[in-house]
Amino acid sequence: MSETGRGMPLREALAALRTARRETDVVVSTMGPAREWMAQGPLHPLDFVLVPSAMGHATSLGLGLALARPERRVIVLNGDGSMLMNLGSLVTITAEWPANLIVILCDNGAYEVTGAQPTPGSAAGRTHGDALDWAALARAAGFRSVFRFSTLAGWAAGMTEALDAGGPTFILLTVPAVPGIGGPSSPGPAGQRARQFMKALGDR
């Protein structure tokens, strides 16, 4: 396996996030970001690994959690392929305006888990080679707190400001695709994990 040369390594980017994650934060992850989040070490009781998933719906599930639990910060770790499947959710999020929701989009320009085929948003996947401007798209969808990082040093330096900006927040991390790395495995039966998560979250 070799990484394509763009951005920061996803695993290191998420390792940095793990150090900044509060004990009370909910972290929803899916697809490649879920794989790398699970690789960081034992899961936190408030980690919701959305595997198995429906295509592209981590942001929607995160929105529901953020609305139900406004006292908690909800961080969604999403991929660009997933985000493209549910672009409307960006508009739904800003319509509802949950101040506690942070969407972190890990953009590798590829459907990594299926073999790193280019997405239609990536330069390689587009007729004119003009990659989608995710930050501009987020702003156009109504996000006011929008951050973009393409180096690990920049992410480490700016992470706290971005996470504390007040949401809804959209953070773009440019990361390389790793062809052949595969998708995430479920950490356990989904129904059982749902019940455990609800117990960890406690009553409203």
Partner 1 sequence: MFSGAQVISLLTRLGITHVVTVPDSTVGPWGEVITATPGIRVVRVCREGEAWEVAAGLYLGGARPLVMIQCTGLFESGDALRNVLHDWKLPIPSVIGYRSYLNQDTLPGDTCLTFTEPILRAWKIDYRLITEPAQFDTIAAHLEACAAEGKPGAILIAEGKA
Measured from the CB atom, is 54 or 123 closer to partner 1? 54
In the structure encoding, which two tokens stand for residue 166, read together?
A: 């007040």
| Residue closer to partner 1 (CB basis): 94 or 119 | 94
| CA separation for the pair 84, 194 (Å, rounded) | 26
d(CA 185, CA 100): 28
Task: Name residue, tokens 């960081």.
Answer: 40
Rule CB under 8 A: is residue 190 a binding residue for partner 1? yes
Residue 61 interacts with partner 1 (CB under 8 A): yes or no = yes
Q: Which residues pair with 26 in a beta bridge?
A: 74
The closest of 104, 95, 80 to 155, measured between CA atoms, is 104
Angle between helices 88-96 and 134-141 in degrees, nearest 10: 40
Residue 60 sits in the site that holds partner 1 (CB under 8 A):
yes
Q: Which of residues 77-136 bind partner 1 (CB under 8 A)?
A: 86, 88-89, 91-92, 95-96
- Stretch 138-177: interaction string toward partner 1, x if CB under 8 A: ----------------------------------------
Q: State how far the Cα of 86 lies from the Cα of 64, in Å rounded to an integer.
A: 15
Tokens of 171: 């953070």
Residue with Cβ nearer partner 1 (96 or 161) = 96
> CA 81 from chain center: how many Å?
11
Comparing CB distances to partner 1, the nearer of 3 and 197 is: 197
Site string for partner 1, 16-55 (x = CB under 8 A): --------------------------------x---xxxx
Instruction: By CB under 8 A, name the binding residues for partner 1.
Output: 48, 52-55, 57, 60-69, 86, 88-89, 91-92, 95-96, 190-191, 194, 197-198, 201-204
